[in-house]
Each structure stands twice: as structure tokens, then as C-alpha cells.
């Protein structure tokens, strides 16, 4: 489907809804859904952002700012996945428990505000990775309009740029729990260490950053073209010292570079070894 047709289809699909609650993370996907929903539904839209220990504070601030720019009603609610033993055990379907908690809370808010539908920002590219949260969305009856209209990630960025959305180039972001290998328990302390470590790298000008938590070792992932920058002007020594103060004994750099969902590679390896 040509891009302009996808755009029209997206507007048409959302425009047919009576009203909508948008699960709004502040990422480009949900921002595009929110912007289109606001355009075609007007005041019949409410954006909800989830606050939890696994969401960096900077992302909450970003969501607040974007909602103001889009001039939409926006609320931040607290989700309680950290109270779920199943989630804290960090199984391979951890994301299912997190998203089930989120969508359960969103369903309650939608009912309270008499909103007919709940929308998320899943796109076609998300369907190709290990994403138990997508199952949770289906179970909860959440609509994924980008998928229904045939949008992949590049389509999203292209339309977001065309619509002058300020975050059209925003790097992809996953929750902080995704930095902890499956089977290793999720704790508030680990999440805090990860957030602080990534903030230290972001403060040095890196845009796409992951710090994977491997016990007493921090594994830094940066785009391959940025790895050499980490070793200029004694920057690595500075970062190493900062991360050790946070609580890591050892700091390593993954020479494969950043890739989304790198901890899922273990799942794929296990499948090939069966």
C-alpha cells in the first residue's frame, strides 16, 4: 500500500471509533497514533502514560511535554507490575505480565471516562520479535491501528516527519527490565542502577544507549559507529568510574553494537540447539 494510502487508512480506521484512550509512552509510535487520533476524534481522546520503576523518569517528562505540544488530555497512572511475583521472576514472557497489568489499568480508566476503545503503538516490525506483550494486548482487546493500516517503523517515522512531530527521530526505547537477562530477578535496585548508568552515557551525548545488567557487570551497547567515541579523550575511564560508583564492579562494551532486544538472542540460540 502506498504511504499516502496508509495515512488515509489510519485516519479512517481511527476516525470510525466513538472515542479512544491511547496508551502513550512518549515514543514515536504511540505519538503518531495519538496525533492522528487527536486530529480525527478531537476531544474524544485521552492519553495515558504509565509510571513505574521500569520507566525512566526522563521518559515521563518527555511524554508530558509531547502531550502539551499535541494539546491533548493526558494523565499519568501508576502500574504495579513490581508487585507481581511472576513478573519479578523475569521469565521469558515477563512482558506479558507487565502489559497485562498496564492494559488492566487502562481498561479501568477507559470505563471511568466512558472511552470506547484502547489504542497502542505496535507496528508491523514489532511482530517479528519476541514480544509477549502483544499477546497481552490481544487478550485485552486493545487495538493496534498501525498494524491494521500496514505501518512498519520506517513508515511511522516518515509520516511523523511529514506531520512535524518533534520526536520523529527519537530512538527506540524499551522498559528498563529488558536490560536484565531472563531468569535473573527484577529488583528496584537493579532498575535504578540501569537508569543511572544510561543517564551517564546520555549526558555525554550518546543518543542510542543500552546498559545490560549482568550481576556485577555492566555491558554497554552503543551503535557500532559510536563505539570508538567512547574511547576518545579518556571518556571510557570517566564512564567506567561513574558506573563503578553506581555499583557495578566491571564495565564492558559489546563490540557487536546496539541491537534491539539483544537479550532475546539467547532465546533464539536455545531454539537452534534443541
Write down all domains in the chain, each with its CATH number in brackets. 3-162 (3.40.50.620), 176-273 (3.30.70.2210)
Is the distance from CB of 89 to CB of 185 less than 8 angstroms?
yes
Only one residue has cell 499477546, namely 135
Which pLDDT value is given to residue 128?
Answer: 80
Distance of CA 219 to the CA centre of its chain: 20
Per-residue pLDDT for 270 more than 60? no
Is the distance from CB of 24 to CB of 50 less than 8 angstroms?
no
Q: Which of 11, 7, 20, 26 is nearest to 170 (CA)?
A: 26
Average pLDDT over every residue of 47-52: 97
Q: Give the number of other CB atoms < 10 A from CB of residue 18.
A: 10
Average pLDDT over every residue of 199-217: 97
Per-residue pLDDT for 274 more than 60? no
- Residue 22 φ then ψ, to 5°: -110, 125
Sign of CA dihedral 224, 93, 84, 248: negative
- Residue 234 φ then ψ, to 5°: 60, 20
Instruction: Specify whether the backbone of 193 is left (phi greater than 0), alpha (psi in -120 to 50) or beta.
Output: alpha
Pair type for strands 45-51 and 73-78? parallel
Structure confidence by residue, pLDDT tens digits, 149-204:
999 999 999 999 999 999 999 998 889 999 999 999 999 999 999 999 999 999 99
Per-residue pLDDT for 267 more than 90? no
Is the distance from CB of 142 to CB of 178 less than 8 angstroms?
no
Pair type for strands 117-119 and 73-78? unpaired
- Identify the three-state secondary structure at position 219: strand
Only one residue has cell 504509565, namely 50
Which pLDDT value is given to residue 259?
Answer: 83
Alpha carbons 101 and 119: distance in angstroms, whole number: 15
Structure confidence by residue, pLDDT tens digits, 57-90:
999 999 999 999 999 999 999 999 999 999 999 9
- Cα-Cα-Cα-Cα torsion 124, 126, 130, 132, nearest 10 degrees, comes to -100
Which pLDDT value is given to residue 198?
Answer: 97
Structure confidence by residue, pLDDT tens digits, 6-39:
999 999 999 999 999 999 999 999 999 999 999 9
Per-residue pLDDT for 264 more than 80? no
Which pLDDT value is given to residue 266?
Answer: 61
Where residue 3 falls among pLDDT bands split at 50, 70, 90?
Answer: confident
Average pLDDT over every residue of 250-268: 80
What percentage of the chain exceeds 70 in pLDDT?
95
Structure confidence by residue, pLDDT tens digits, 217-241:
999 999 999 999 999 999 999 999 9
pTM of the shown model: 0.91
Where residue 271 falls among pLDDT bands split at 50, 70, 90?
Answer: very low
- Identify the three-state secondary structure at position 103: helix
Where residue 131 falls among pLDDT bands split at 50, 70, 90?
Answer: confident
Quick one: 227 exposed, middle or buried, by C-beta within 10 A (0-12, 13-18, 19+)?
A: middle
DSSP result, 193-207? HHHHHHHHHHTTT-S
Q: Which of 37, 14, 29 is nearest to 154 (CA)?
A: 29
Q: What is the chain's mean pLDDT, rounded?
A: 93
More confident residue, 91 or 268: 91
Where residue 53 falls among pLDDT bands split at 50, 70, 90?
Answer: very high
Alpha carbons 264 and 5: distance in angstroms, whole number: 34
- Residue 248 φ then ψ, to 5°: -85, 135
Q: How many CA atoms lie within 13 A of 111 on its CB side?
A: 6
Amino acid at each position: 500500500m502506498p504511504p499516502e494510502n496508509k495515512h488515509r487508512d489510519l485516519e479512517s480506521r481511527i476516525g470510525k471509533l466513538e472515542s479512544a484512550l491511547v496508551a502513550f509512552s512518549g515514543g514515536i509510535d504511540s505519538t503518531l497514533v495519538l496525533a492522528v487520533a487527536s486530529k480525527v476524534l478531537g476531544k474524544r481522546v485521552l492519553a495515558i502514560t504509565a509510571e513505574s520503576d521500569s520507566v525512566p523518569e526522563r521518559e515521563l517528562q518527555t511524554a508530558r511535554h509531547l502531550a502539551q505540544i499535541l494539546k491533548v488530555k493526558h494523565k499519568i497512572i501508576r502500574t504495579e507490575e513490581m508487585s507481581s511475583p511472576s513478573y519479578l521472576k523475569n521469565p521469558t514472557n515477563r512482558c506479558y505480565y507487565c502489559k497485562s497489568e498496564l492494559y488492566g489499568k487502562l481498561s479501568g480508566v477507559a470505563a471511568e471516562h466512558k472511552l470506547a476503545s484502547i489504542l497502542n503503538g505496535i507496528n508491523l516490525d514489532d511482530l517479528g520479535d519476541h514480544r509477549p506483550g502483544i499477546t497481552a494486548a490481544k487478550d485485552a482487546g486493545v487495538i493496534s491501528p498501525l498494524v491494521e493500516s500496514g505501518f512498519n517503523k520506517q513508515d511511522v517515522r516518515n509520516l511523523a516527519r511529514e506531520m512535524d512531530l518533534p520526536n520523529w527521530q527519537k530512538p527506540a526505547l524499551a522498559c528498563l527490565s529488558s536490560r536484565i537477562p531472563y531468569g535473573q530477578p527484577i529488583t528496584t535496585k537493579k532498575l535504578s542502577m540501569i537508569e543511572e548508568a544510561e543517564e551517564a552515557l546520555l549526558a555525554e551525548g550518546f543518543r542510542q544507549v543500552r546498559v545490560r545488567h549482568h550481576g556485577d557487570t555492566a555491558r554497554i551497547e552503543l551503535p557500532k559507529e559510536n563505539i570508538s567515541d567512547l574511547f576518545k579523550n579518556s571518556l571510557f575511564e570517566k564512564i567506567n568510574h561513574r558506573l563503578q560508583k553506581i555499583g557495578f564492579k566491571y564495565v564492558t562494551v559489546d563490540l557487536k553494537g546496539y541491537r534491539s532486544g539483544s537479550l532475546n538472542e539467547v532465546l533464539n540460540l536455545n531454539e537452534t540447539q534443541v
